[in-house]
Amino acid sequence: MSTAEPVAWILAVRLSNAIEEMLVPLAESPAQFMLAGSLRRGCQQVHDLEYVAVPKVAEVRGDDLFGTPVNTNLMIDKLDRMLACGQIEKAIYSDGKTRWGTKYRGFMYGGVRHELFMTGGDTFGLHVVIRTGPAEFSKAFVIRLRAAGYEARGGQVFAQGRHTPIAVPTEQRMFELAGLKYIDPREREFATDQISQS
């Protein structure tokens, strides 16, 4: 869901660059942090900024008396610290609630809403395709995937009738499974008919 007022492209780029500078080092690899949404598609005005990431998990000294190491999602830890010191605020959505979980967080930074979707390496490609959009493209892509004998279910990809998920670490792998040539994000705005008919 988008904020009411659109944001100029140059401001959106500046803010997304700032967030990437802070969060990319906390991803499993630089390739596993991806800008998504309308800015990735090259739209000149955007309503919010979206990212998909595979967070790095590491042992961090705990808060107990002995400083017992605790496995910590470093991206979540960074956002919690940014929130505590007032760098960001939790975004309030139209239902009056926030989104501040372990897989999805919405926050305000620079007067713009940012949404971070966190996933594992084996599902990164699926989430990048879906979150890059636009919505009509994502829906058509899922239908095309089903026609090719696969389905997206519970944030994972399966061969139809099977219960073992298929690793989809990249967007390219998702397009291969759907039987499609890779489509540049900037061309997806007008590619819905193309993937429906191919």
pLDDT tens, residue by residue, 40-56: 999 988 999 999 999 99
CATH fold for the domain made of 7-118: Beta Polymerase; domain 2 (3.30.460)
Distance CA 118, CA 66 (A): 30
- CATH 3.30.460.10 in the chain: give the residue spans: 7-118
**Cβ burial 174-190 (10 Å sphere, 16+ → b, else e):** bbebbebeebebeebee
CATH architecture of 121-197: 2-Layer Sandwich (3.30)
Give the pTM: 0.91
32 Ramachandran zone, left/alpha/beta (phi>0; psi -120 to 50): alpha
User: Does the pLDDT of residue 196 top 80, yes or no?
Assistant: no
Rounded distance between C-alpha atoms, residue 128 and residue 54, angstroms: 11
For 90-110, the pLDDT digits (tens) are 999 999 999 999 999 999 999
What mean pLDDT do residues 25-40 have?
97
Mean local confidence (pLDDT), 188-197: 82
Q: Which helix (H) or strand (E) segment is 33 a member of?
A: strand 33-36
The pLDDT, as a whole number, for residue 198 is: 60
SS3 label, residue 16: helix
The amino acid sitting at 57 is: V
- What does the pLDDT average to over 151-175? 96
Q: The tokens 């990319």 sit on which residue?
A: 24
